[in-house]
Chains A and B, each alone.
Chain A
Amino acid sequence: MAEVKKNEEPRIGVFVCHCGTNIAGSIDIKAVMEYAKTLPNVAIADDYQYMCSTPGQNKIVEAIEEHKLTGIVVAACSPRLHEPTFRVATREGGLNPFRFEMANIREQNSWVHMHQPEEATEKAKDSVRIAVAKASLLEDLIPKSVPVERAAMVVGAGIGGMQAALDLASAGIKTYLVEKNPTIGGKMSQLDKTFPTLDCSQCILTPKMVDVFRHENIELLTYTEVEAVEGYIGNFDVTLRKKARGVLTLEEAEARGFVGGGCNGCGDCEDVCPVIRPNPFELGMAPMKAIYIYHPQVSPLLYTIDFDSCVKCNLCVDICGDKKAIDLNAKDEFETVKVGTVILATGYDIFPIEEKFEWGYKNYDNVITSLEFERLICASGPTGGHLIRPSDGATPKKVAFVLCAGSRDNTGVGKPYCSRFCCMYSLKHAHQIIEKIPDAVPYLFYMDIRSFGKMYEEFYYRIQDEGAKFIRGRVANILEDPVTKNLHVNAEDTLLGRPIDVEVDMVVLAAAVQPAAETDATRRLFGVSCSQDGWLLEAHPKLNPCGTTTAGVYLAGVCQGPKDIPDTVAQAEGAASAASIPIHLGEVELEPYFAVCLEDKCAGCGMCINLCPYQALALVEKEGRTVMQVTEAKCKGCGTCGGFCPGGAIWMQHFATPQIIAQIDAFLLGGEQ
């Protein structure tokens, strides 16, 4: 452990960065530097073109020794960018890295006051004075290390979650793959073909499903939801609700003493079940029994009872016979597992496009969504791959595809973002009807065709060549002919500059996507933030797209924002790599910004305990007194307790009250002590 120094006379070094012309373009660097030299405790002030460069960092290292500095201030960019860089330089100079303070004179100054150089320079002086005041009071801090449990959890077993789990498991990490549905596979298993290669979606997905099912390091927990989460990076205790399935696996049956029993997926139970209800996997377009599997390729191949509709007639129990796989009295079970890191891959849902009345979904029979189209065109779908009009079962010849249906919409009904994969799957749909239906004509109503991926623009070219009609214009409204049930699609051909009315047999709405229904509840359990539109928030949109601001929790796939299959798989592999790092290291260092109880002052009132959003505080007996104790690994240093404590008994490390008061004084008193 490094030596902790305290109570010396502060000697601060101030370094002002030009950042090329980013800062120097509007701030008088020399003036700021000269001003810094006049401040109390400042031993040296210097400037450099790029403080983050090696010569810039060397200035800090050399100055620490030469001027016997106790604290460093760099006036430059945001600490989110270069605080780690300068902390390393501070440490190399022989100081504790937490003796460093940054003054942001770029993002919060030169960039926003580009045309007010004089005021910007004065503001920069203020920032430096405030930073020096804090740096004079900074203390040595030692980061804590905590061990990391050698296991990971992936929430959601669509293609993103499956890929992340496979990567983690293949790296030798025990992985719990949690899925709310009875089968893994997610949305991708509902698709017919994938763009731009036109691979059969199931054909490329099922081998992965089998890999996941068979992998020795993956514990597959289908029909299971996350109930509660406690802990922190390295040590998450996740409580899972295993929903009552009513059907035993081979292992579960054996555990109950029915050797050779358990569900083998024979399907006899399904044949005798008298309850018929809509199949959610087929979006309600096919029937399903109360005891069911979604489709023949489910993994695990295990039946599930829907207890909401089951009438407990016992016919399935009778037919199952000696296998004794069915338990109609099953109850939800709970299990708590300990994992070091977590990947959220909770996916998406289709936006309820019926809320856009002008397109008549759920009002006109022959207006369907793109996901319904996928099931109708799929050979294993409810119609055996024959695209039919819901109104009369006829084969449609003219089909309109409405792109941006609910996307790029700022009305409040709809989504402001681009859903990103609709252009490409609509092109694929156009190809599929041209391929399957002689003389079929697809009309694509688009605002822009966003074919940005590898081989995507080439795919667009191919579909245009195949005869798809492209009409640039957002569909204004759709009207139904009450007799023929044909649809009149009204739009402007903006390239022609003229309104257009296209009579078609069927309309497919490329509906916007939104975070899956459970996303919000799940993210709250793990303490992950979300952006305005509900997608989970990455730690940095460019440089840390897989991480979150909660240490140890990572993101994969559409839950972070709309993306297609290649991007989802790529992000899943990135998230798996990120999530495996703490596990392979075996321990993680936590920033020492936690609260410390000053036990002499603590009255043991316990008011802080319930205020803590992270359950990091507890009352303990110490030397005959009740005092508060902080679990440092859980504490995020938010300061709620420290701000509240009536006795001033909680010391927020690195953000201590005297340090903050000094900053406020430095600002308000304008340098006059």
Chain B
Amino acid sequence: MRHLDATAMAELARRDPATVAWFREHLASPCEACETFLATHSDALDGRTDALLLALAPERKAEAEVIPLRSAPRARRFAPPPGRYWGWMAGALAASVLMVVLVPLVKGPRGVSEWNGQKGPGRISLELAVVARSTDGALRRLDSGGDVTRDEVLLLRYHATESGVALLYQQREEQAPELLGRFPLTAGTHDLEGPDGLAGVSLESDEGRLSLALVAFAPGEPASEQDALAALAADGSPDARPGTVVRFDVRVQSGQTLAP
């Protein structure tokens, strides 16, 4: 009995009549050897197979435009560049967005609290990545504690182990946390996005150290502003509390966009 292999695939591509006839019958019923070969063999059917399989799930909406959470940047700062740069920028935008690297900064549960005999909601595990978008649209991956300039906008991307809800805060040195928005979380890796589009944090009026904190709550956990503030206040403490806190610090400088 003949099974699929590289030779057979080449013959099929050439439409060799005997090979076509054999495999037309043979592949009409399951064959583990042929399916195993096809699973890892790269050929012209790959793209169509994947397109078909990925069409089974509910369609995900396309990436949305970035909606600033804070005061809208002045128009001149986001003035479109000359037309000849757009092609380069489109490529750079795609490339840079894809370079976002998850920064593991989980400051969630530390240690294990004693079980009180009751089953409670699960705790979300959370990671946060941040990129800075400059006025010319260039994106720059940030490490926590890194420098940014006032004319940049911060874009957030998270990885959550389960769905839930998150409250985003900003906190300046020696000041109380300020709520920027409330966002649904979906399990997996996603851009932080509200009903109006992507969350972008404008830095226009800032200088000095700024801390962003995302407080995530699993379904069933109380998720009010008070709960989020309590979680922020308890951050670093081993005490049990609802909510998982992830922080990302930047230092805002007043100068021009920094080099990548």
**A and B interact physically:** no
Residues of A within 8 A of B (CB): none
